[in-house]
Amino acid sequence: MPELPEVETVVRGLRPALSGRVITGVWLDWPNCLVFPPVEDFAAQIAGQAIRHLWRRGKYILADLDSATLIIHLKMTGRLYVVPDAAHNEGDRWVHFRFQLDNAHQLRFSDARKFGRVYLTPDPGLVIGRLGPEPLADDFTLDRFVERLAGRRGALKPLLLDQAFVAGIGNIYADEALFRAGLPPRREADSLNTDEQARLYDSIRAALATGIDHEGASVNWYRKPDGTPGESQEHFYVYGRTGQPCLRCGTPIERLIIGGRSTHICPACQPPHSG
């Protein structure tokens, strides 16, 4: 599933093509992806609305329109791209939404697994209101991170995946952040000392920033809006590197299952009782 760096890259790639454009119509063939409004109202409500601002919140893509906000979650296999009306794209075989624009172009939403979600609402808080803070925002300080850690129990890996704790982190960047911090994924959140809290905070931000710098990770379906892959996967420390030598110490990377999710660690750099 695309995480914060991938979604941020998609937003940055789409913004030049969508800013100021008017949505003149919409076609869809998979109503189950549309959460609200009802499908019979969707086309009428969105037609004629201009895209005023495109932004990201957590793993959600938001387009502020004249009188509502269009929200899209890519889920596992979703892709967004803008092309001329007559253009053929390799992702078109899985397109389930086409947003017609006023310049003979279309915003297409391709989603092979059909898990993606689309919302049109005057109140974005109905969708994103429960998300935690943005980990790369200026106001997400170390003090604020420590405050959010206070009283938290349970293992670090599931906590980092909790979107109500911090928004945008998924399986990939949780593994990368924990490695950078030298913390094992099963370490209890309430056991961290002051230095470990600071290391984890810095490592979360560093892992996500590096992901954005390399325009996301194309380990499965993710592609940038221009169709090319991101390069973050070429710079991972642990994720997807099972059996390969740790880039720091040479110990083979191990794959664990924690909470039903694949988790990648260096057993030497992230010992069970580190800290």
Total number of domains in the chain: 2
Residue 137 lies in a domain: no
The residue annotated as part of the active site, out of 2, 5, 184, 225, is: 2
For residues 93 and 102, what is the distance between their CA atoms, to the nearest angstrom?
24
Q: Is 252 domain-assigned?
A: yes
Catalytic residue among 75, 114, 152, 261: 261
- Has residue 111 been placed in a domain? yes
Q: What is the pTM for the complete model shown?
A: 0.96
Domain termination residue (choose one: 128, 154, 181): 128
Are 24 and 106 contained in the same domain? yes
Q: d(Cα 64, Cα 245) in Å, to the nearest integer?
A: 46
Q: Is residue 275 part of a domain?
A: no
What's the gap between Cα 103 and its chain centre? 29
Range of the domain at 261: 142-265
Same domain, 164 and 261: yes
Q: How many whole angstroms separate alpha carbon 44 and alpha carbon 164? A: 33
In a domain, 136, yes or no: no
Do 196 and 224 fall within a single domain?
A: yes
Q: What is the pLDDT of residue 220?
A: 87
Contact 202, 146 (CB under 8 A): no
User: Residue 248 is part of a domain; what is its CATH number?
Assistant: 1.10.8.50
Q: 192 and 92 in one domain?
A: no
Q: Is 157 a catalytic residue?
A: no
146, 124: one domain: no
**CATH of residue 116:** 3.20.190.10
Q: Is residue 273 part of a domain?
A: no
Say if 274 falls within a structural domain: no
Q: What is the pLDDT of residue 53?
A: 98
Residue with tokens 């001329």: 84
Phi/psi of residue 138, each to 5°?
-60, -30
Give yes or no: residues 153 and 248 share one domain.
Answer: yes
Residues 153 and 196 in one domain: yes
**270 located within any domain:** no
74 and 12 in a single domain? The answer is yes
Look at residue 99 in the predicted model and tell me its pLDDT.
98
Q: How many CB atoms lie within 10 A of CB 158?
A: 18
Does residue 111 sit in the same domain as residue 188? Answer: no
Whether 184 sits among the annotated catalytic residues: the reply is no
My answer on whether 100 and 76 are in the same domain is yes
| Pairing outcome for strands 117-121 and 34-36 | parallel
Pair (114, 208) in one structural domain? no
Domain boundary among 86, 104, 128: 128
Measured CA distances, 10 to 59, 74, 99, 267 (Å): 11, 10, 16, 34
Tens of pLDDT, residue by residue, the chain (275 residues): 899 999 999 999 999 999 999 999 999 999 999 999 999 899 999 999 999 999 999 999 999 999 999 999 999 999 999 999 999 999 999 999 999 999 999 999 999 999 999 999 999 999 999 999 999 999 999 999 999 999 898 999 999 999 999 999 999 999 999 999 999 999 999 999 999 999 999 999 999 999 999 999 999 899 999 999 999 999 999 999 999 999 999 999 999 999 889 999 999 999 986 55
What residues contact 150, with CB distance under 8 A and at least 6 apart? Answer: none
pLDDT at 274: 53
Of the candidates 5, 6, 57, 59, the residue annotated as catalytic is 59
Catalytic-labelled residue, pool 3, 8, 176, 215? 3
Active site residue 261: yes
> Which of 101, 128, 155 represents a domain boundary (last residue)?
128
Same domain for 37 and 116, yes or no, is: yes
